[in-house]
């Protein structure tokens, strides 16, 4: 459904819950919506989105899931709005360059890590939780996710479990270094590999507490850093995927190439195909790390207020 863009739509719309938390200066955690529309199948996507929000509330912070609804940039979704996105087809996947298109044309849009960082920063929310960031695609060193560039220019701390090994992780780390993005391991000194706790690739520092992470975020604020910070949290040990999804990843990547799938369609295609090929074995790890990252981000947002 298209609607004529009005002036009000360029402003942010806040849910009552988020509006109250902002007014009282209480801790808030931003959440993305592309994992709902393009990352996980229905109904796992809705169950996981709700579980992430509840984990944040139980930890004592307020969740703010971000999306574009009929052109309106929305910070904090109702249950009905979450359900609508979870079931909808053809929602625009909104990274930086897609945001003005969805807003200008009055469309529904789901924000990626990059899109969510932009809106969270505008809203004054410095902490954001997700599963995995985009990166450099395997065999396609010029397909660099806009997530990495956004991390280089928007001061939001992104709590994640690294990136999926559907990506080229060493090249992804190189781009983050060039972009000046610190990578802070919370309880790890290597980049987590999403389903697996470690990629074996070393990162900048290992800290043990949310308070230490908050101290680094505060220091970046004092330094007036313009860039983001990546907080790497491994999947909980009990849920770590034991077997390697490598064969499925190689097959899915080759199929995407053979089918001529390019640009922003690659990530959703490969994610979906790997899930099919591994028959959902990976799903337990995926939802566990998303909920754990949401809870961890809440602790960091709370520590930032102390």
Given Mn ion, ligand PSU, none, residue 35, with its beta carbon under 5 to 8 Å by kind, binds: ligand PSU
CB atoms within 10 A of CB 199: 22
Q: Out of 53, 93, 150, 164, which one is annotated catalytic?
A: 164
Q: Which among 32, 53, 107, 240 is annotated as catalytic?
A: 32
- Least spacing, CB of residue 281 vs ligand PSU, in Å: 15
Contact between 271 and ligand PSU per CB under 6 A? yes
Positive or negative torsion for Cα 161, 166, 172, 173: positive
Could you tell me which residues are beta bridge partners of residue 66? 75
Asked if 192 touches ligand PSU (CB under 6 A), the answer is no
Binding to ligand PSU by residue 154, rule CB under 6 A?
Answer: no
**Residue 188 interacts with ligand PSU (CB under 6 A): yes or no:** no
- Tally helices (H) and strands (E) across the chain: 12, 13
Member of 32, 108, 168, 240 binding ligand PSU (CB under 6 A): 32
Q: Is 164 a catalytic residue?
A: yes
Q: Which residue has the tokens 């959703």?
A: 268
Query: Is position 145 an interface residue for Mn ion (rule: CB under 5 A)?
Result: yes
Tell me whether residue 32 or residue 107 sits nearer to ligand PSU (CB atom).
Answer: 32
**CB burial readout 216-242, b (16+ within 10 A) else e:** bbeebeeeeeebbbbbbbbbeeebbbe
142 three-class SS: strand
Measured between its terminal Cα atoms, the distance across the chain in Å is 44
Q: Do residues 82 and 130 make contact, with C-beta atoms less than 8 angstroms apart? A: no
Q: Does 240 bind ligand PSU (CB under 6 A)?
A: no
Point out which span in 35-43, 46-54, 84-92, 227-235 binds ligand PSU (CB under 6 A). 35-43
**Chain residues that interact with ligand PSU, rule: CB under 6 A:** 32, 34-35, 38-39, 95, 112-113, 131-132, 134, 145-147, 164, 264, 267, 271
Active-site residue list: 32, 164
């Amino acid at each position: 459904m298209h609607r004529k863009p009005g002036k009000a739509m360029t402003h942010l719309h806040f849910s009552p819950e988020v509006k109250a938390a902002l007014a009282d200066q209480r801790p808030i955690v931003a959440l993305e919506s592309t994992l709902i529309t393009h990352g996980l199948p229905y109904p796992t996507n809705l169950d996981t989105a709700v579980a992430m929000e509840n984990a944040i509330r139980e930890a004592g912070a307020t969740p703010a899931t971000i999306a574009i609804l009929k052109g309106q940039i929305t910070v904090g979704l109702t249950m009905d709005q979450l359900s609508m996105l979870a079931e909808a087809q053809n929602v625009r996947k909104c990274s930086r360059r897609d945001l003005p298109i969805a807003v200008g044309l009055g469309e529904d849009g789901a924000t990626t890590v990059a899109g969510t960082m932009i809106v969270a920063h505008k809203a004054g929310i410095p902490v954001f939780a997700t599963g995995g960031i985009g990166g450099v695609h395997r065999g396609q060193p010029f397909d660099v996710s806009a997530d990495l560039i956004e991390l280089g220019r928007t001061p939001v701390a992104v709590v994640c479990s690294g990136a999926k090994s559907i990506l080229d992780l060493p090249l992804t780390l190189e781009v983050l270094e060039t972009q000046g993005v610190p990578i802070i391991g919370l309880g790890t000194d290597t980049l987590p590999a999403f389903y697996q706790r470690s990629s074996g690739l070393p990162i900048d520092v290992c800290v043990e507490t949310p308070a230490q992470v908050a101290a680094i975020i505060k220091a970046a604020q004092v330094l007036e850093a313009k860039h983001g910070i990546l907080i790497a949290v491994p999947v909980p040990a009990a849920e770590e995927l034991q077997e390697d999804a490598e064969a499925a990843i190689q097959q899915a990547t080759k199929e995407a190439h053979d089918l001529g799938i390019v640009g922003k369609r690659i990530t959703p295609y490969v994610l979906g195909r790997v899930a099919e090929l591994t028959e959902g074995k990976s799903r337990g790890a995926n939802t566990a790390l998303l909920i754990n990252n949401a809870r961890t981000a809440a602790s960091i947002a709370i520590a930032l207020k102390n």
